[in-house]
Structure 1
Amino acid sequence: MPSDRRLLAGGAGLVALTAAVSVLAYPEMPAEMATHWNAAGDVDGTMPRALAFALFPVLNAGLFALFLALPRLDPRTDYEQFRAAYDAAALVTLALLAYVNAVVVLANASYEFELLQALAPAIGAVYAVAGYVTERAEQNWFVGVRTPWTLEDEDVWNRTNHAAGRLFKVAGVVAALGVFVPEYALALVLGPVVAIAVASFGYSYRLYHRAN
């Protein structure tokens, strides 16, 4: 399937699925819905039902439009060189929002579970796909590890993104472990990504200044 059609079909399906879940669940939901939880898993934010159910479909539709537009907005890169990876990144992000929408619906339907524990495997899958995408991304302005040094030097871009891609795959496994140890889920989900961001920044700086 051509890349535009692949992203169009998959993205439209995920946006439609998110909207369908909202429409079907709407009559069973409380008038004031929980929509935000703190790090301890306690509700600390609510919205009126109509606004809460519009939130994720509208957000997913907006992201879908953005993912379609980005390859046309970047003047320096032909995204067809890594289009399958780019489409994977777009679709897994839209799928994550659809999943979060379903989790919020279940939480408001009085199902009892640890929210972050439920989200950990989905976030882990996103990290793993991010690793796949990062390893394959050509130099561009929107996807991959973009520091002043990776954008300046193609070799620094390639080496930094290949290293970060492998680390993101490991981070996916680590984040998914939050299912089994919910008391540490927040650290397992956030810790690896913070570490990768810091390490990638420092690594790209070091590579660039060693070469120049």
Structure 2
Amino acid sequence: MRVRGLLIASLLVVAAMVGFAFYMDATLPEGGMLPVHFNAAGQPDRYDKALTALLVAPVSLLVVSLIMAATPFLEPLQNKLEQSAPLLRAVWIGMIVVMIFVQVSIAAPALGWQLPPRMFYAVIGMFLIFLGNMLPKSRPSFFVGIRTPWTIMDTDNWIATHRLGGKLMMAAGAVIIINAFVETSEGVAIALLLGPILIAAFVPFVYSWWLWHQKKASGS
């Protein structure tokens, strides 16, 4: 799997984000503060110095990009790596988009932009739908996908589990997108954010075990 092109693109995005951070810091009054954390309603509830706040996303993206670039060289299952490459690239590209949005959300007050309070929910939802579509196309890997003892050791288990996991992840993404645009209480918003994600993560794990148990019981 080649990562050079995506790594270069990621580093260029990081450089642009760092440049944007310093530009914004220079245009703000000395000691200017920007949000670094948002509550379930999408409202800022913690602030930090502008430059520090604006550098959170590019630094995070740099770390993620370096990890993603190293993953193909660390993967023990090299013979299946190419089949999982689309999923790895999807995670990487998705993280680039998410980190750009995080920086824009932090800078928005200084730019005079009024973003919808729960727009981040919509971004997360679209990310999950994107990943859910890619999951069934992957093959056993120690670094990407739904990694259980049973999926890693059995390609058929991996394929079946990821088909289910992909559907659940896309459904979770759809629920979270709807949650972004429907007025609910903070508690309901959190439940509709975390609930679908937990279901999409837990059910495939149990299903993977069940497939292994059924195969073991049949003696195959």
CA distance, structure 1, for counterparts of residue 11 and residue 174 of structure 2: 29
Superposed counterparts of 1:14-163, under 5 Å: 14-29=13-28, 31-78=32-79, 79-109=81-111, 111-115=113-117, 117-163=118-164
Structure 1 residue 174 displacement after superposition: 1.8
CA distance, structure 2, for counterparts of residue 167 and residue 13 of structure 1: 34
After superposition, what is the alpha-carbon deviation per residue over 1:48-82, rounded to whole angstroms, capped at 9, x for unaligned? 22322222211111111111001111112342223
Structure 1 residue 40 displacement after superposition: 4.0
CA distance, structure 2, for counterparts of residue 135 and residue 20 of structure 1: 38
Residue identity in the other structure for 2:13: L
Aligned-pair identity in percent equals 27
Structure 1 residue 138 displacement after superposition: 1.1
Alignment size in residue pairs: 210
State whether residues 87 and 144 of structure 2, in contact with CA within 8 Å, keep that contact through their aligned partners in structure 1. Answer: no
Which sits farther off after the overlay, 4-13 or 153-162? 4-13
Question: Which residue does the alignment assign to 1:189?
Answer: 193
State whether residues 84 and 141 of structure 2, in contact with CA within 8 Å, keep that contact through their aligned partners in structure 1. Answer: no
The structure with more radius of gyration: 2
CA distance, structure 1, for counterparts of residue 171 and residue 156 of structure 2: 23
State whether residues 178 and 186 of structure 1, in contact with CA within 8 Å, keep that contact through their aligned partners in structure 2. Answer: no
Structure 1 residue 182 displacement after superposition: 4.3
Residues 28 and 181 (structure 1), Cα distance of their counterparts in 2 relative to 1, 3 Å cut: farther
What value does the CA root-mean-square deviation take over the aligned residues?
2.2
Question: Which residue does the alignment assign to 1:204?
Answer: 208
Task: State the TM-score, normalizing by the size of structure 1.
Answer: 0.87
CA distance, structure 2, for counterparts of residue 135 and residue 9 of structure 1: 27
Task: State the TM-score, normalizing by the size of structure 2.
Answer: 0.84
State whether residues 114 and 182 of structure 1, in contact with CA within 8 Å, keep that contact through their aligned partners in structure 2. Answer: no
CA distance, structure 1, for counterparts of residue 84 and residue 96 of structure 2: 19
Structure 1 residue 5 displacement after superposition: 3.4
